[in-house]
Structure 1
């Protein structure tokens, strides 16, 4: 069985994986949901992007984990991809859940839909943090009112420097075995950088889910089943 290290996206902590964790544990896997520095119960810890990479590496090394499947959702695909390169042969596979992927020398903000300056201005105007979404922002993502309320109530401001600092990749990301999960209510296809990796790398696979951007809430059992299959494939 695999050891899953699960990292949620912006504003969220380890609690976001509760329902997925119970499914994976029932299947016999080890589970290690991570709260990144500056978020949730660690909200008072200062963090940059490399802090988040180290948070993930530390979780693997502290527990001496092997056969590791790193799971990164949304923003966290960026530090998860970098951490995958740093844990060596402990890594079995990386799973990107409707996420960004790291590009050497580029940040999360680099790919922002209306330009990095717009996101950077939003962060600056909010005291250096990216403010959590409101309930209205989650509409159309396959979530119930109760699920939306849970996400909104549990969210904390996201440290802005983690979004503006560039990723550092010592070698091509495509060398890592990976599964990319595309959530179709958030767009039909992955971004171009992911599409290129899927086309070029035999050990990259695409899985589509007919749900929104937060499948750990909207479809936790289905997501856990996909994660289980990715571990078997590894």
Structure 2
């Protein structure tokens, strides 16, 4: 039995993991999916990037979890990578699902073309609103799945994207799996490509779009279990 802690990306709360969590629990694992501050049922709570890091660490410590496989999707790879470092011996493995990764002293918006996000933050009072339905086309999602993401998603607090990450040691020293969703249409970011050269990092490709917890929950759950066994 493994303790999985699943953290969703921008705009999403714990609800995004419902199908994946059900698959993992059916296989006998314990699953926790904390919603980050400022999102979903925690909308309105002020949050910066370090708030999200602490949200994750607090969840693991509050529950007394050990042998943790910590999973971060998209944006949440940045706070998850920092939280993984702080969990120490509680961590078994960290899994990044088509995500960004933290770099010490750099924000989420550093390292890739993010002018459109900065413009959205400026135009919407410091929050990043959910994308329109057209942005999810070509990502292996049904119309119903897109509708759910758009209607249940909540604006993402901008400070979480502009505050710098804090790391005390190289991220490549952590035992990690990176899941690249190949239908996303983008190559891994340069920071990810560099980390994948580490002997402690594995790359797994998944034939779907950027939101595999919706498009391929069973396959994603299988990869998460295989990652845990390979730790």
2:222 corresponds to: 225
Structure 1 regions of 5+ residues with no counterpart? none
Give the TM-score normalised by the residue count of structure 1.
0.96
Contact 1:112 1:119 in 2 (8 A): no
Contact 2:111 2:191 in 1 (8 A): no
Deviation at 1:114, TM superposition (A): 4.7
Among 119, 129, 144, which residue is 1:131 paired with?
A: 129
Deviation at 1:232, TM superposition (A): 0.7
1:72-104 deviation digits (Å, cap 9, x = unpaired): 000000000000010110000000000000011
SS at match of 1:100: coil
1:56 corresponds to: 56
Structure 2 regions of 5+ residues with no counterpart? none
1:94-138 deviation digits (Å, cap 9, x = unpaired): 0000000001111111134154xx532320210110011111110
1:197 corresponds to: 195
1:1-234 equivalent positions in 2, closer than 5 A: 1-115=1-115, 118-187=116-185, 189-199=187-197, 201-234=198-231
Give the TM-score normalised by the residue count of structure 2.
0.98
> Displaced runs of 4+ in structure 1, greater than 4 A?
none
SS at match of 1:111: coil
SS at match of 1:202: coil
Contact 1:120 1:164 in 2 (8 A): no
Contact 1:182 1:206 in 2 (8 A): yes
Give the alignment's Cα RMSD to 1 decimal: 1.0
